[in-house]
Structure formats: structure tokens, C-alpha cells
Chain A
Amino acid sequence: MSESLTCDVVVVGAGMTGAACALYAARAGLGVTVVDRGPVAGGTTGAGEGNLLVSDKAPGPELDLALLSHRLWAEVAQELGGAVEYEPKGGLVVAETPGALDALRRFAAGQRANGVTAAPVPADRLRDLEPRLRDGLAGGVHYPQDAQVMPALAAAHLLRASGARLLTGREVTGVLRGTDGAVRGVRTDRGDLHAPAVVNAAGPWGGELAARAGVSLPVLPRRGFVLVTEPLPPRIRHKVYAADYVTDVASDSAALRTSPVVEGTAAGPVLIGASRERVGFDRSVSLPAVRALAAGAIRMFPFLSGVRAVRTYAGFRPYLPDHLPAIGPDPRAPGLLHACGHEGAGIGLATGTGRLIARVLTGQAPELDLTPFRPDRFPPTSGEAER
């Protein structure tokens, strides 16, 4: 039987971004329904590491969003910190060569001028921060603002705290539009949900949802593996990664790229990333990718050669061609807002994204200029049904 529900806003996607949009919209006084064809955190959120990073962001709109999000995460942590395994552990970026160190220090100087705390660490002081790092590194930069959450727990607890109505296992098959083109809600496989606003928080499937609303958004999946070790006592204190990670993230290559990102977790296992490749939604395990991750991590932390990896998992980062998310109203479909395309930074950027979306929904000025995040900034793809 079809059930007709009315609310102020339907959020499509019960991942981290959808949960944050629901929380801030609900706290702004809106009645929110969250709908997802899978479970909570069943997509990209459940397949990441829970990075809340400012260290890998170059000055610009994404860094501004990361700094806003960082402040909001600290507020959320006051309320839910233990439950979501929030750890303000800080990041340590290391350079293997003097050339890489020069580039890293220049990058950090630019970040410092834009509100990031970034302290250079000479080679002989690296072990004060990370006693098990290998010999012979050129130096690094310490970023105390970097933090971590357990992403699936964070999505679940933010959803619960929002008090939003949650409908899982229910697929949005279309976005309802009136004769004037304005959004009226969504059609699902089990009835319509009526609302004057719909938020697209569908992550790497955000392009598909946009198409169901009759607009184009070129979100592509960029696959990444995480390698999980057996549980260990605390041995790696920070989020530690090599300076070339930043250039890998910014790369447009479809081919496999890996750069070591290593961190301990509250539960004990060490998580090893990060690989990036554009292979569509293919989940099959890639031995070359996983092998490269292990080799990179051991190069940085030699003791890991004696530690066993127990499993690996893959996820799909929602990637937009200019590496910036789509956040804000879509002028092509009044009432439709997008909050997707955060690539590998979606957990960290979720709080800021949720707040900006809530501001737009309630007619208030957002804290940041949304122009760089405009969802209609890309040329239309062929076959687009403009109304």
C-alpha cells in the first residue's frame, strides 16, 4: 500500500552527508525525512576511514569548507564525541626527500596564511611525534587540527540526534516536479514523499539521482581500498601520510595511484590507505592495489612488516571533475539541493555541508560563498532533459 508523507525536506542518502544535512535542517526547525535504498552508512560512508582533514586541502573553497566543518565537528563532539569515536589526534605529513619537503613546506605556508595550524617538524624530531617511523625521512609538518571519527557510527548517531524520520531499504525512483518545474517531493518504490525541498546526498550515486530529477551532475566513482591489520595496542598516534598523497588526490588520472596513509583506530586495527582508480562501480579486489598499499605503509612504518592484514574493503569516492563538491540549490530544478561529490573528504566536510544546506533551506545567508560549489557549473551532458 502506498503511504503518503509530507515534510519540509526529503534528504536522499543515509550516509554521513545526509545525516549531517538532516541534523542541521532539523535543528533549524524543519521536519526532515531521510530515505535510502540501502541501510544507514551502507555506501561510501561505511567504506572509508573517517578522516576529518584540513592538512590535505590547498587554500581555496574546499579548505574554507574544511575549516568550517572542523569547528562544527568539535561542537558535535561535545555532544556525541565518545559515541562516534571522535579523536582529535592530529595529522603528520612526512616527506621522503628534500625536494618533497620543500614542496610540503611551501604548501603548509600557504595553508597557515589561511587559518590552518601547520608546524614544521625537522627530521630529528619526527620520532617525538611518531616513535615508529622509519629512518631517513627528510622531515614533515604537524597538523594538530586533523581528527578522526568512526564514520558509520557518526552517520548513525547524527541521524538519531536529528530526530529525522528515517526510511531505509526504500529507493527513490524519481523526483516529483510540478508544472512550474518546482520540486514537490520524491517517488519511491513504496509510495511518494511530498516536500517542497529535496536534498541529493546520494554520494557517488548523486549523478544518478540528479538524472532522476531531470538534471545532470557528472559525479563519477573513484575506487579506493583500505587494508585493515590485526588489532594492535596503540602504536601509531597520528594520521600519518606521505606528502605525495596531496598530488594523488588532485590528479585526474584514471589509472591506479597509491600513496600511504596510515593510522591507528580506537578499536585497535591499523587502517592503511589510500588507493585511487577510476574503474566504475567494480568492487572486485585488486591485488596490485592492496599490495601497493601494504608496501607503502611498511616503507613508512617498518614494524608493520611483522603485522598481519586481516581484511580489505573497497569504497567509491564521489568524484566531480574539478574535485569540489556540489553544494546548494540547483537553479535548473527549484527546490532541489545537492550535497554530494566530496570525493574522499566527505566525512570531514559533512558538518559544514549540512550547515550550509540548512541555511539555504531556511532562507538564511550561508557562512560561505556557494558559487564555487554550484551544481550547474559543469557543461550539460548529451541527452540531458532540461525543463
Chain B
Amino acid sequence: MNPREPSGARPGPAFTVTFDGRPLEALPGQTVAAVLWAADVVSWRSTRVAARPRGVFCGIGVCFDCLVTVNDRPNQRACLVPARPGDVIRTQEGTGHAH
């Protein structure tokens, strides 16, 4: 079921962001994590030591597990950052500061 149906939400017009170069549709008010989940993406970071996949854990801005690189800034919490038109979202490797 589309999660918008039971909530009766009537969001504004959709816009586009990219994730690792792939265009994804986003709605106003969605967090980056919500956009990624809606596109069936559940992992967008690899851990610093063992390079294991990570995505949302707590989902409420507590745990720092869902870190992602947005518009070249690493370590953004996907569950807190609202998606904006044209955002360039990239999988974060390790600290995201390797370069």
C-alpha cells in the first residue's frame, strides 16, 4: 500500500534528486531516508573498519547509523535531512572524508 493513502497526505508536486547518479522521485517534506526507502534503497553507507552496509537504524535522529553524503557534505543523517530538488545523494564510504 502507498503510505500516503491511510494518512490522507496531499503533498505538493514531486521533484527529482539523484542517488549515486540515478534519478529518484521525491516529495516535499520527505527526508533523504524516506526518499531512499521509497525507491527500495536500504543501504547507503559502508562502515569505517569492516566496510559493512548501513542504512536507517533508529530513524529518529539519535544513532548516527544512517549517515550519507548529500551535495558533497558527508555524515549527514538521512533520517533528519529533508530532501530538496536537485540534491546529489551519494553512498558514503567510511568517514566520507577519504579524499
Contact = CB atoms under 8 A, between A and B. Distances in A.
Interface string A250-284: 00000000000000000010000000000000000
B64 A232 contact: no
Given A231-B48, A268-B48, A310 B64 contact: yes
B43 interface: no
A230 interface: yes
Chain B contact residues (Cβ within 8 angstroms of A): what range? under 10
Contacts of B98: 233
B16 interface: no
Contacts of B94: 233
B52 interface: no
B71 to A, nearest CB: 14
Interface residues of A, number: 7
A232 B95 CA distance: 6
A308 interface: yes
B48 to A, nearest CB: 6
Contacts of A268: 48, 95
B97 A233 contact: yes
Interface in B9-68: 48, 64
A232 B75 CA distance: 10
A132 to B, nearest CB: 13
Contacts of B95: 230-233, 268
Interface string A301-323: 00000001010000000000000
B74 interface: yes
Contacts of A230: 74-75, 95
Interface in A213-250: 230-233
B81 to A, nearest CB: 12
Nearest to A311: B64
A308 B97 CA distance: 12
Contacts of B64: 310
B75 A308 contact: yes
A294 to B, nearest CB: 16
B75 A310 contact: yes
A304 to B, nearest CB: 12
A230 B48 CA distance: 12
A308 B64 CA distance: 13
A268 to B, nearest CB: 6
B11 to A, nearest CB: 29
B50 to A, nearest CB: 14
A308 B98 CA distance: 15
Contacts of B97: 232-233
Nearest to A235: B97
Interface in A59-109: none
A230 B97 CA distance: 10
A310 B48 CA distance: 17
A85 to B, nearest CB: 13
Interface string A172-209: 00000000000000000000000000000000000000
Nearest to B73: A308
Contacts of A308: 75
Nearest to A231: B95
Nearest to B75: A230
A232 B99 CA distance: 11
A56 to B, nearest CB: 30
Contacts of B75: 230-231, 308, 310
Nearest to B96: A230
Interface string B67-99: 000000011000000000000000000110110
Contacts of A232: 95, 97
B63 to A, nearest CB: 11
Contacts of B74: 230
Interface in A125-173: none
Interface of B: 48, 64, 74-75, 94-95, 97-98
Given A231-B75, A233-B98, 9 more contacts: A230-B74, A231-B48, A232-B95, A232-B97, A233-B94, A233-B95, A233-B97, A268-B95, A310-B64
8 contacts: A230-B74, A230-B95, A231-B48, A231-B95, A233-B98, A268-B48, A268-B95, A310-B64
The 10 closest A-B pairs by CB, nearest first: A230-B75, A231-B95, A232-B97, A232-B95, A233-B95, A233-B97, A268-B95, A268-B48, A231-B48, A308-B75
